[in-house]
């Protein structure tokens, strides 16, 4: 479905060009016996995603091939994307615009990135945001490199409840260095245990994810207090940015650097990519932030303008002063995220986040009532862990044949969690979908 944003003024201009005064006049040459005389029978008003679901159901009646019902999240989430966003992003001004190496002639691109930075900083409760990175895993690795540059210390503590792929990228980044990575284990409630950092010397930063890989919300304020007592920075990452439409953002809870994946902000899953790396921090760390910063200024005539204020990679400054070798800022994905955030606004973001939370809680409680074990008691957002009976793997394959993807098995990443699955629920699932899922998996 395409979104064609013609205003009444634009319609009047087009009618004037063809020499008619109204749309009815435009269609007058069509004989009356070729026109419909009665009103079309339409259903009542629907939201855009309800209309899409209705159209899909009509097409399913014809094709007899229903879509997959996907309960798989783990860093990439199925969200409804308003149809006008891909329309606007697909315009040549954005889709074919190259990285603004010549900011004096790239005002539209620079303004769009500036808006992205502003909205991202507000969402995360931070002072500044850079002009984006490749993906959430890279954002975490760059944030930890930033932390050791700021503190000049040699150890970093990393929760093992951070997305496993993020941790692998972090390990790859740090493998050639002499920095030490200390792994923090999870507790029985699905949150990170911090006792390992008590009295630790030379600690540069503590990294946790909230909501973490199990979907559990961490106690960021307590973690911040503990990290700061060690004169270390708190780096928080995330894979589901919409959580901060409902829960307090990292900046308000004491985080020094916030980073993560922005795919949920209007970017389609596209079989795994591309993503959007978000990184924001307190303004005192600005000189150590990787990538680019776009700033607002005035030209000689006092008109507002935008300029590439900070670009700290080796192409722009001396290599020994560079903070990264990032070659692009994924600006098209950043512009998409900016459009999405601007479309929702504060109230829309809160309403959507609440809807996701409520649907997740409904499925969690329904599974619990049906006899499934929910092992972690901490609050969750969008996804949660459920323990199914041994042998569920066989049923899982059978569900695939019925076009149901019943989450992600945790065993390959956490061998101690055999028969534990991570389930994700977003606004794309109806109550009917959730009830049918419970019936399928516990029967």
Q: What is the pLDDT of residues 292-348, one digit of tens each?
A: 889 999 989 999 999 888 776 555 566 666 677 666 667 889 999 999 999 999 999
Percent of the chain that is helix, strand, coil (3-state, to 5): 40, 15, 40
pLDDT at 63: 45
pLDDT digit string, tens, across residues 228-243: 999 999 999 999 999 9
Closest CA to 220 of 132, 159, 175, 292: 159
> Is domain 63-82+345-442 given the CATH code 1.10.132.50 in the classification?
no
> Is domain 84-341 given the CATH code 1.20.1090.10 in the classification?
no
User: Domain extents for the chain?
Assistant: 63-82+345-442, 84-341
Rg (C-alpha) for the chain, rounded Å, is: 25
- The answer to whether the beta carbons of residues 143 and 279 sit under 8 Å apart is yes
Longest dimension (CA), the chain: 87
Q: Phi and psi of 214, rounded to 5°?
A: -85, 0
- The answer to whether the beta carbons of residues 228 and 254 sit under 8 Å apart is yes
Q: Where are the beta strands (DSSP E) in 98-152?
A: 128-129
pLDDT digit string, tens, across residues 266-292: 999 987 888 999 999 999 999 889 888
**DSSP classification of residue 255:** -
pLDDT at 42: 82
pLDDT digit string, tens, across residues 255-265: 999 999 999 99
Give the predicted TM-score (pTM) of the model.
0.85
Mean pLDDT of the chain: 90
């Amino acid at each position: 479905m395409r979104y064609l944003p013609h205003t009444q003024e634009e319609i009047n201009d087009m009618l004037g060009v063809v020499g008619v005064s109204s749309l009815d006049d435009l269609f007058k040459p069509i004989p009356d016996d070729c026109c419909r005389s009665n009103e079309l029978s339409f259903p009542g008003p629907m939201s855009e995603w309800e209309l899409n679901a209705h159209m899909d159901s009509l097409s399913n009646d014809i094709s007899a091939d229903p879509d997959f019902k996907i309960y798989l999240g783990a860093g990439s989430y199925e969200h409804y994307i308003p149809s006008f966003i891909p329309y606007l992003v697909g315009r040549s001004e954005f889709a074919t615009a190259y990285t603004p190496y010549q900011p004096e002639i790239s005002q539209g691109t620079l303004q769009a990135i500036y808006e992205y930075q502003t909205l991202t900083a507000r969402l995360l409760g931070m002072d500044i945001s850079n002009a984006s990175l490749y993906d959430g895993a890279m954002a975490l690795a760059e944030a930890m490199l930033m932390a050791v540059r700021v503190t000049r210390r040699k150890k970093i503590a990393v929760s093992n409840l951070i997305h496993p792929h993020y941790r692998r990228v972090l390990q790859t980044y740090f493998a050639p260095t002499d920095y030490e990575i200390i792994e923090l284990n999870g507790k029985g409630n699905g949150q990170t245990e911090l006792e390992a950092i008590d009295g630790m010397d030379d600690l540069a930063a503590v990294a946790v994810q909230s909501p973490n890989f199990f979907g559990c919300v961490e106690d960021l304020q307590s973690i911040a207090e503990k990290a700061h007592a060690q004169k270390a920075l708190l780096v928080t990452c995330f894979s589901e940015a919409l959580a901060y439409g409902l829960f307090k953002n990292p900046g308000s809870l004491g985080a020094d650097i916030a980073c993560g994946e922005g795919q949920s902000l209007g970017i389609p899953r596209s079989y795994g990519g591309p993503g959007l790396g978000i990184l924001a921090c307190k303004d005192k760390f600005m000189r150590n932030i990787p990538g680019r910063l776009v700033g607002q200024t005035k030209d000689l005539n006092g008109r507002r303008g935008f300029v590439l204020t900070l670009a700290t990679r080796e192409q722009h400054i001396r290599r020994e002063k560079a903070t990264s070798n990032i070659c692009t800022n994924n600006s098209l994905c950043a512009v998409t995220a900016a459009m999405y955030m601007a479309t929702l606004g504060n109230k829309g973001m809160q309403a959507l986040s609440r809807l996701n939370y409520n649907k997740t809680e409904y499925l969690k409680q329904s599974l619990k009532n049906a006899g499934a074990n929910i092992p972690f008691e901490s609050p969750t957002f969008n996804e949660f862990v459920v323990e199914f009976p041994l042998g569920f793997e066989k049923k899982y394959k059978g569900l695939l044949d019925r076009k149901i993807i019943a989450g992600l098995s945790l065993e390959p990443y956490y061998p101690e969690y055999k028969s534990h699955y991570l389930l994700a629920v977003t606004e794309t699932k109806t109550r009917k979908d959730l009830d049918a899922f419970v019936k399928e998996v516990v029967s």
